[in-house]
Amino acid sequence: EHSLVPLGEARLGRIGLDEWLRRLRAAA
C-alpha cells in the first residue's frame, strides 16, 4: 500500500475515509 501511494497522500486518504465513514455512521 505504501509503495503504491506516497505516505502523505496515504495518510490524507485514510483520514478522509475515516471521517467519511464516521459521518455516514453518524448520519445513519
Tell me what pLDDT residue 25 has. Answer: 92
Tell me what pLDDT residue 26 has. Answer: 94
The pTM (predicted TM-score) of the whole model is 0.41
Tell me what pLDDT residue 16 has. Answer: 75
The pLDDT of residue 2 is above 60 = no
- Strand, coil or helix: 18: helix
The tens digit of pLDDT for each residue in 3-25 reads 666 666 666 667 777 888 898 89
- Strand, coil or helix: 12: helix
Tell me what pLDDT residue 28 has. Answer: 84
Q: Between vectors from CA 27 to CA 23 and to CA 28, what angle results, nearest 5°? A: 115
Tell me what pLDDT residue 8 has. Answer: 67
Cell of 4: 503504491
How far is the C-alpha of 24 from the C-alpha of 19, rounded, in Å?
9
